[in-house]
Chains A and B, each alone.
Chain A
C-alpha cells in the first residue's frame, strides 16, 4: 500500500458537498469567539450548538466547523471522540439518558434501564426505527437524592420505577422542563434537514463505537 500524501493547504471542506451548517448556526458559533482567547476553545460550545440544531455531528459538519475555527478536521474528531455526549450518527428526537451510578443502581436503576430497553426494543446508543427515541447511559446524573433518575432530552425524571417506564415514554410532553430558559444553547429550528419520522441522511454518518 502506498502512502497517500495529504496536502495540508488544500481546503478541508469538499467543494461539491452540500453545506450543513446554516448561517444561523455559524452566526451562533461566531458569537462565542469574543469569549475565549483562542478559536479552538470555541469547539465545545460549537459542537453543542451544532448538535442541538442538527441532532448529531457528521463528517461534513466536522469539516465545516474545523474550517470555521481554523483547525484541522482531525482535531475536531479527536475532541468529539473523547466525549460521550456527542453523537456522530443520527439520533432520535428524544434521547433517554439513564443513570447507572451506584445510588441509582441500589434503588433499582438497572431495572429501569432494562424496562426502557424492553419498551423501546433497542439497546444502548441505538435509535428506534421511527427515529423517535435513542437510549444513552450515563455514569452519574447527579440526581442521586432522587434515584433512580433519567433524562429525556433536558428534562430530569426523578424516582422512576421500572413499572412507570411505559407511561413515561408514552407521554408526549416528557421532555418539556417548563423552566425559564436562556437562549444561549437553544439551537435554531431546522425543519428541512430532518424529515418527520425518518432519520436524517446517513451519507455522512460516522459509525463510532461507544467510547469505552
Chain B
C-alpha cells in the first residue's frame, strides 16, 4: 500500500493549501470546468458509473440519490453535511482545513448535476477555525467568479452559504439537518416524503457529506474508471480513515478500502502500532455507532461490506478508536451509553427512554453495582429500539443499540468478572440509593 497516491489530502501540509492559488496550481477547478461543459444528466451518469458511495456513514450511492429528484422540479437545494459529530470522526475537519477549495469545487459539481442554485454548508459550531477557513475560501471563490452569477462563464448561477449548527449530534441526520436549517429544533422527519421530493423549505433537497463531494472533482478529471480501479468490489475510490486512541500515530489517513483494521492500526503508513506496544482490547472501527470489534477480530476489512460479517452496522465514517488492554470496559460502556442518552433528540419513546435506561444501567455497572441480569437487560433494550425493528424515525437508536449490544455480547465475560468481584450486597445497597 506504500504506492498509494493521496488524492483528497494531496495538499495537506502544503504551504498556503487553503488558498485558491495553491489549489489551482494543483489542477484545481479543472473538474468543475469539465462538469460545466457537460449536461447535468451526463455528470450524474458519470458519478453513477463511478459508484461513489456516500462517505457520511450510510454508503448510499450519491448518483442514485441525485436521480431521485423529480424531473419537473424548478428549484433544488443542496445541503452539504459538515456536521461531523460522530465520535471519533474528524475527516471532514481535516479536508476543510487543508483544502477548502476542493470542497467548494465538489459543491459546484454537485449543484450543477442536481440543478441547485443554492447550497448550504451545514457546519457544526465547534468547527470555529474551519468555519473561518471555509468562509474565507468561499469569499475568495466569489471574487474569482467561481461562485455567484455565471459560474466560470457557463451561465450557471450558484450561491454557497455556510450555516452553522449549534451543538446537536442528530443534526447530522439528513432530515434533522434540514429542520435545523429551517431554524427549528433538529428533529428528524418521518420519511416519506424523502428529502429528494420534499426537503428544506418544501423543495427537493439533496444532502451530501463533505467527503463525498470532495471526491467529485477527481471523478470528473480522472474518470469513473480510475475511481473504480481503487479498491475492489462495491467499495471503490479514495477514502479517508481516522484513527485515534492510544496509538503511536493517530490521525487522518487516505487509502483504498482494501486494508484491514489491523493494517490501519499497525501499518507503517498509518497508525504504526500501539503506544508502548500494549495489546488491543477493542476497536470501534467505523465511529462508535457502528459497533465494536474485539482484539481478535482485527482482520476485518475496512470496506462497505465486511463489517456486517462481524456484527457491525456498516463501515460508518471509517473512524477507528482503539481501546487498549488496560482499559476497563465498564468505562467504555458508560461513555458510549452516555453519549446516546445525551444526544437522543427525544421524539421517539424507545430511543429517548431506552438510551437513558442503558446509561443508567451502565452507570451502576461502572459503580461496581452491576447485576448479571443487567447485561441481559441491556441486550433486551438495545434489541427493541431503532429503525431496523421499525420503531424510530431516524437511525440514531440503531447507532446506540449496535455498540452497546456489541460491548455486552463480545465482552460479557469481562463484565461478569467485574461483577463477580463486587462485594456481596453492594449492588442492592447502591440500587437502594440510586432508585
Contacts and interface: CB of A to CB of B under 8 A. Distances in A.
Contacts of A103: 87-88, 244-245, 321
Contact of B88 (A48, A140, A184): A140
Interface in A144-160: 144-147, 151, 153-156
A166 B186 CA distance: 37
A40 B162 CA distance: 16
Contact of B332 (A43, A48, A102): A102
B321 A85 contact: no
Interface stretch (A2-10, A21-29, A113-121, A175-183): A175-183
A12 B410 CA distance: 56
Contacts of A140: 85-89
A203 B378 CA distance: 45
A78 B185 contact: yes
B245 A142 contact: no
B152 to A, nearest CB: 22
Interface string A92-111: 00000100111101110000
Contacts of A84: 166-168
Interface stretch (B24-32, B119-127, B425-433): B119-127
A102 B201 contact: no
A106 B245 CA distance: 6
A147 B164 CA distance: 24
Contacts, number: 159
A40 B181 CA distance: 9
A186 B12 CA distance: 27
Interface stretch (B66-74, B106-114, B304-312, B334-342): B334-342
A143 interface: yes
Interface centre among B181, B183, B242, B250 (most CB of A within 10 A): B183
B139 interface: yes
Given A44-B164, A86-B166, A106-B323, A142 B127 contact: yes
Contact of B87 (A36, A45, A97, A102): A102
A196 interface: no
A138 B84 CA distance: 13
Interface stretch (B33-41, B128-136, B368-376): B128-136
Interface string B136-161: 10010000000000000000000101
A181 B181 contact: no
B90 interface: yes
B395 interface: no
A153 B345 CA distance: 26
A41 B161 CA distance: 13
A38 interface: yes
Contacts of A47: 166
Interface centre among B135, B165, B167, B186 (most CB of A within 10 A): B167
A145 B246 contact: no
A101 B87 contact: yes
Interface residues of A, number: 52
Interface in A41-75: 41-45, 47-48, 69
A106 B278 CA distance: 14
A182 B321 contact: no
A102 B186 contact: no
A164 B349 CA distance: 43
Contacts of B324: 106
B interface bracket (residues with beta carbon within 8 Å of A): 35 or more
A84 B165 CA distance: 10
B319 A151 contact: no
A101 B244 CA distance: 11
A212 interface: yes
B166 A180 contact: no
A32 to B, nearest CB: 9
Nearest to A181: B132
B216 interface: no
Given A101-B339, A145-B250, A179-B132, A82 B168 contact: yes
B168 A105 contact: no
B185 A182 contact: no
B168 to A, nearest CB: 6
A185 B136 CA distance: 12
B163 A139 contact: no
B169 interface: yes
Contacts of A144: 87-90, 242, 244, 250, 319, 321
B148 to A, nearest CB: 13
Contact of B166 (A85, A100, A177): A85
Contacts of A42: 183
B181 A145 contact: no
A142 B201 CA distance: 29
Nearest to A108: B246
Nearest to A76: B183
Interface string B207-225: 0000000000000000000
B252 interface: yes
B246 A182 contact: no
Interface in B278-297: 284, 288
A56 to B, nearest CB: 13
Contacts of A105: 331, 335
Given A41-B201, A102-B335, A144-B242, 14 more contacts: A36-B201, A82-B186, A82-B345, A83-B165, A85-B165, A97-B126, A103-B244, A140-B87, A144-B250, A147-B244, A147-B250, A177-B128, A184-B135, A212-B342
Interface of A: 35-38, 40-45, 47-48, 69, 78-79, 81-86, 97, 100-103, 105-107, 138-147, 151, 153-156, 177, 179-182, 184-185, 212
List the 8 shortest-distance A-B pairs measured between CB atoms, nearest first: A43-B183, A83-B166, A82-B185, A182-B135, A154-B128, A144-B88, A144-B244, A101-B87
11 contacts: A35-B161, A81-B185, A82-B345, A85-B165, A107-B246, A139-B85, A142-B127, A144-B242, A145-B242, A145-B251, A146-B250
